[in-house]
Structure 1
């Protein structure tokens, strides 16, 4: 079968048109798909822009609340002591004896233990960073004799007057000989310190037995030799 030159030209033209249409519609479809994706992303970004614009318009109010919360946290943490030493607890027992009137027979102090780890904001000049700190608990157990009124006063005194402290255990029994109570009371005390806190026992100097002035609080009086009386002839 022979195809005339005219028909060959016509076929070539039709093939060219078909190729052009296939390429055109392929490119158009790809473009339309990309356009749809871009429009979807733009719609999503517009919603985010609106949300960020609302945040930006309220930034001053948010910053005020952040500052208030930060100041409140700083004030609360500042109320905690930075350390509680064994000697502090001994003086605390003396305070309880004076204020409550209980009779202490013995005390024991537990080693400090970390009960929580967290970070606190530290605002510097042109900077804002979080500083790691730890919450530490130490416990004091008192063996004592007291009456019911004194026990109630002790609980109230620790809970109301001893800041950052609380009674964790009370174990007392009735003493038929004295008519009072005897037993033990455990008081927990808390403090806030840096994350690298390490408890170091206080070094106490050795004192020779029989020393009259172990703490060096007295000054030895200065003695002077009497001046010789003048001699002479009348």
Structure 2
């Protein structure tokens, strides 16, 4: 029986899904190693890319590859679904507020960085504007993770972005354990990159600092919704104070 030949579009689709897998590997490497060693991450990514290019050369006439395309598509969608499309500073401040309300922890100071790109996939973006108000940082602001070999010039692609939250806190030993568990189980991808804790013998509490990284995948087609901040009334119905 004559084997079906894989079309160029099918090969491109598979390579795009592989790109999403590489993006997930880059995230998981950070998750498993809180040291933030970016060079090591992308050495591993480049190795995976080389292995995938070698495999691509052997895909010209393999029927089983065609049968695997639905599964590859499903796995790629799982990666997309597991990341928000964007994280604004307001989202991070609300994240801190909700965490403080949910746990026995007092946050004394917070610093939030701007978003930076940490990886560009080869998967075309699902909307012309990557995120609300086109707030995605340019690639020049972060020089890692480009996949220029697989994308056309000026083509918008799904792009991994990250930001950092640094905070100082006071809590109990039990509160600290719950804090770590809260971050680990948070539905939006968040990791502890660095932690420093000391015991206060006077109060019996723990004081310390945390550095968190939060991740998003811009261009995934999801709609970004700004956080609703309760308890803030903006403006007035009648600025002159006269009767209607």
- TM-score, normalization by structure 1: 0.55
Structure 1: tracts of 5 or more residues without a match? 1-49, 124-128, 196-212, 225-234
Runs of at least 5 residues in structure 2 that lack an aligned partner in the other structure: 7-60, 127-149, 221-231
Between Structure 1 and Structure 2, which shows a larger proportion of strand residues?
1
Match of 2:85 among 82, 87, 90: 82
- From the superposition, tell whether residues 152 and 120 of structure 1 become closer, same or farther in structure 2 (CA, over 3 Å): same
Contact 1:83 1:191 (C-alpha < 8 Å) held by counterparts: yes
Change beyond 3 A, Cα 1:138–1:219: same
Question: Over the residues paired in the alignment, what is the CA RMSD in angstroms?
Answer: 3.3
1:105 and 1:122, CA in 2 relative to 1: closer, same or farther beyond 3 A?
closer
SS of residue matched to 1:54: coil
- Tell me how far apart the structure 2 counterparts of residues 146 and 219 of structure 1 sit (CA, whole Å): 45
Displaced runs of 4 or more, over 4 A? 55-61, 217-220
Partner Cα separation in structure 2 for residue 157 and residue 72 of structure 1? 26
Contact 1:83 1:192 in 2 (8 A): yes
1:93-108 → structure 2 map (5 Å cutoff): 93-108=96-111
Which residue of 1 is the match for residue 164 of structure 2? 139
Q: Corresponding residue for 1:54?
A: 3
| Correspondence for 1:183 among 208, 217, 238 | 208
Alignment check: 8 A CA contact 1:113 1:136 kept: yes
Structure with the greater alpha carbon radius of gyration: 1
Is the CA contact 2:200–2:207 (under 8 Å) kept in the aligned structure 1? Answer: yes
CA distance in 1, matches of 2:236, 2:77: 40
2:175 corresponds to 1:150 = yes
Q: Secondary structure at the match of 2:74?
A: helix
8 Å contact from structure 2 (residues 103, 175) kept in 1: yes
Q: Secondary structure at the match of 1:69?
A: helix
Q: 1:111 aligns with which of 94, 104, 114?
A: 114
Contact kept in structure 2, 1:70 and 1:121, CA below 8 Å: no
Note closer, same or farther for the CA distance 1:59–1:175 as it changes in structure 2 (3 Å cut).
Answer: same
Q: Structure 2: how far apart are the matches of 1:87 and 1:216?
A: 20
| Structure with more relative contact order (C-alpha pairs < 8 Å, separation 6 or more) | 2
Q: C-alpha displacement at 1:70, in angstroms?
A: 1.5
Conservation of the 8 A alpha-carbon contact between 2:111 and 2:167: yes
